[in-house]
Amino acid sequence: MPVSPDEYRLMDVLQGGRCFYCGEPVGTKATFDHLIPLAYGGLDAAPNVVLAHRRCNQRKADRLPTPEEIERFVTQRRHSRLGAWPPLLALRDAEPGDEWMTVARAIAGL
């Protein structure tokens, strides 16, 4: 279920109108970035998506989010109806070096 216009507006408010990665104003040039990439089983829905500049989205490419990015995402979404996708929460607790396997197990367990 792709991001709805209402979810887009709520993301924009939660992110303060700024790119999730660089923190600069994103304006009308926002793209959707999947924290857990679609290529690796990521969900195409608001609980796995942030707003980002195209260049920041491309720079992130298909890597997993850093621990700092996960914490910032969870903090932004803590009291929001958008929520955080359970595999992201599992990734937050992953052992260093075991991130991809943790994500795969979490996705398989859904």
Confidence (pLDDT) at 7: 96
The number of beta carbons lying within 10 Å of the beta carbon of residue 35 is 23
Average pLDDT, the chain: 95
Structure confidence at residue 109 (pLDDT): 94
**Domain 5-109 belongs to what topology?**
DNA Binding (I), subunit A (1.10.30)
**Mean pLDDT across the stretch 14-35?**
95
Q: What is the pLDDT of residues 88-104, one digit of tens each?
A: 999 999 999 999 999 99
Q: Please check whether residue 73 is in contact with residue 48, taking contact to mean a CB–CB distance below 8 angstroms.
A: no
pLDDT tens digits, 55-71: 999 999 999 999 999 99
What SS3 state is found at 27?
helix
Q: Are the C-beta atoms of 91 and 103 separated by less than 8 Å? A: yes
Residue 1 has pLDDT above 80, yes or no: no
What pTM, to 2 d.p., does this model score?
Answer: 0.92
Taking 90 as the threshold, does the pLDDT of residue 29 lie above it? no
Q: Rounded mean pLDDT of 70-78?
A: 96
**All residues at 6 or more sequence positions from 29 whose CB lies less than 8 Å from its CB, including other chains:** 53, 54
CA distances from 8 to 31, 35, 74, 92, 106 (A): 10, 15, 17, 24, 26
Categorize the per-residue pLDDT at 12 as very low, low, confident or very high, splitting at 50, 70 and 90: very high
* Angstrom distance (rounded) from CA 33 to CA 39: 12
Annotated domain spans of the chain: 5-109
Tokens of 103: 């994500």
